[in-house]
A and B are shown apart, each in its own frame.
Chain A
Amino acid sequence: MIFPYSKIKTKDKNYPYSILPLINVKVSLQSKSAITRALIDSGADINLINAQFGKLLGIDYKTGPKTSLKGIVNQSIDVYMHNIDLEIPRLTTYKTTMPFGFIDSSTVGILLGQQGFFDHFKITFEKFNNSFYIEEKE
Chain B
Amino acid sequence: MNTKNGISEPVDLTKVLEGYEGKWVVISEDEKSVIKSADNLEELAEYTDKGIIMLVPETDYLFIGKLL
**Bound-state Cα–Cα, A53 to B44, Å:** 11
- Residue in B8, B13, B52, B66 whose CB lies within 8 Å of A35: B52
Q: A56-B48, A108-B63 are in contact. Are A9 and B1 (CB under 8 A)?
A: no
Q: A19-B10, A72-B64, A76-B68 are in contact. Are A8 and B53 (CB under 8 A)?
A: no
Q: Judging by beta carbons under 8 Å apart, are B67 and A45 in contact?
A: yes
Chain B residues positioned under 8 Å from A44 (CB to CB): 64-66
- Residue in A69, A72, A76, A129 whose CB lies within 8 Å of B7: A129
**Bound-state Cα–Cα, A51 to B46, Å:** 18
For the A-B complex, the count of residue pairs with Cβ-Cβ distances under 8 Å equals 123
Chain A residues positioned under 8 Å from B24 (CB to CB): 52
Chain B residues positioned under 8 Å from A48 (CB to CB): 65
Q: A2-B1, A56-B48, A113-B65 are in contact. Are A108 and B10 (CB under 8 A)?
A: no
Q: A50-B41, A107-B61 are in contact. Are A7 and B11 (CB under 8 A)?
A: yes
Q: Judging by beta carbons under 8 Å apart, are A4 and B10 in contact?
A: yes
| A122 is an interface residue with CB less than 8 A from chain B | no
**Bound-state Cα–Cα, A8 to B41, Å:** 21
**Bound-state Cα–Cα, A46 to B13, Å:** 26
Q: Judging by beta carbons under 8 Å apart, are B60 and A10 in contact?
A: yes
- Residue in A8, A36, A43 whose CB lies within 8 Å of B57: A8
Which chain A residues have a beta carbon within 8 Å of chain B's beta carbons?
2, 4-12, 17-19, 22, 24, 34-37, 41, 43-46, 48, 50, 52-53, 55-56, 67-72, 76, 106-109, 111, 113, 128-131
